[in-house]
Amino acid sequence: MSEEVWQTLPQDLQGALVQAASQAGDFARTEGERLDAELLRTLAPPMQVNRVDTEAFLRASAALYDKFGRQVPGGRELIAVIQSLRERE
CA dist 8 and 14 (Å) reads: 9
pLDDT averaged over every residue in the chain: 91
Please write the tens of the pLDDT for every residue from 10-26.
999 999 999 999 999 99
pLDDT in tens, 48-65: 888 889 889 888 988 999
pTM of the predicted structure, to 2 decimals:
0.56
Domain edges within the chain: 9-49, 52-89
Please, are residues 79 and 68 in contact by the beta-carbon 8 Å criterion? yes
Q: How far is CA 62 from CA 55, 69, 80, 88, in A?
A: 11, 11, 12, 19
